Chains A and B, each alone.
Chain A
Amino acid sequence: AQTVTQSQPEMSVQEAETVTLSCTYDTSESDYYLFWYKQPPSRQMILVIRQEAYKQQNATENRFSVNFQKAAKSFSLKISDSQLGDAAMYFCAYRSAFRYRQGGSEKLVFGKGTKLTVNP
């Protein structure tokens, strides 16, 4: 079974600065997807960024970018020019493409999350 580990329960950053959230995962599969989701307090979880394992190029979405190291099974999220609205829980998640092709579900396997505080 796949597992996702987020080793930083809490992180803080000054507004306008850069912060990196860490994520490692364990899998024996070669075809999968990785995600970062943001969950603001009392609000729904939204997708921040997605990475396909077969793509070597790191995904970027505006101020958000990832550092995907497939061999090391590492998938970190970098937030540049941090804003107060970035304050939230951030979850790293894994989805198996192999399982889907075998008739299984497209379930997301989540880490425990990192609480990000942005200081003005």
Chain B
Amino acid sequence: EAGVAQSPRYKIIEKRQSVAFWCNPISGHATLYWYQQILGQGPKLLIQFQNNGVVDDSQLPKDRFSAERLKGVDSTLKIQPAKLEDSAVYLCASSLNRGTQETQYFGPGTRLLVL
């Protein structure tokens, strides 16, 4: 079974530029998560989708971050404009469905460096 796919793996941009990350969850997984992992810290949830609806985006900086999952499969996370403090690894995870018993499976992440 293929895992969670993310691209690109690495991205370097200058501040105030825009950037987009793509995630393809495990086939059939209805729930998708985006986490931000700043160096030296644990991942922090940015947004959770159930199919193409948003469950939780309370920690998403909506003035600069946006995310969508239009057909309930792939998802895109965008930052516009980027700030230095956005340098982090962006992790996508998916689970078969909602529920506290469900295991979240993580992708390899996209490492973003903002100069």
Q: What residues on B are CB-neighbors of A91 within 8 Å?
A: 42-43
Q: For A78, list chain B residues within 8 Å (CB).
A: none
- The residues of B that contact A108 with a CB separation of less than 8 Å are 35, 43, 45, 104
Known contacts A44-B4, A95-B100, A112-B40; is-contact A107 B108 (Cβ 8 Å): no
Q: Mark B1-34, 1 if CB is under 8 A from A, else 0.
A: 0011000000000000000000000000001010
Q: How many A-B residue pairs have CB under 8 A?
A: 58
Q: Is A17 an interface residue (CB 8 A)?
A: no
* Residue A104 at the chain B interface, CB threshold 8 Å: yes
Write out the residue numbers on chain A whose beta carbons fall within 8 Å of the beta carbon of B3.
Answer: 44
What's the Cα separation between A106 and B56 when bound, in Å? 9
**Is B99 in the interface zone, CB < 8 Å from A?**
yes
* Residue picked from B3, B43, B107, most chain A C-beta under 10 Å: B43
Q: How large is the interface on A (under 10, 10 to 19, 20 to 34, 35 or more residues)?
A: 20 to 34
Contacting residues, chain A, for B41 (C-beta < 8 A): 110, 112-113
Choose from A33, A43, A97, A110 the contact partner of B43 (Cβ within 8 Å): A110
- The secondary structure that dominates the B interface is loop
Does A107 contact B56, Cβ atoms closer than 8 Å?
yes
Tell me whether A4 is interfacial, beta carbon within 8 Å: yes
Q: Are B106 and A45 in touch, CB under 8 angstroms?
A: yes
Q: Chain B residues near A33 (CB, 8 Å)?
A: 100
14 cross-chain CB contacts under 8 A: A42-B108, A43-B108, A44-B108, A45-B43, A50-B103, A104-B56, A105-B55, A106-B95, A106-B99, A106-B100, A107-B48, A110-B41, A110-B43, A111-B42
User: Chain B: residues with CB nearer than 8 A to chain A?
Assistant: 3-4, 31, 33, 35, 40-45, 48, 55-56, 91, 95, 98-100, 102-104, 106-109
A-B contact sample (15 more), CB < 8 A, given A106-B48, A106-B99:
A37-B106, A42-B108, A45-B43, A45-B91, A45-B106, A46-B106, A47-B103, A47-B104, A100-B100, A104-B56, A107-B33, A107-B56, A110-B44, A112-B41, A113-B41
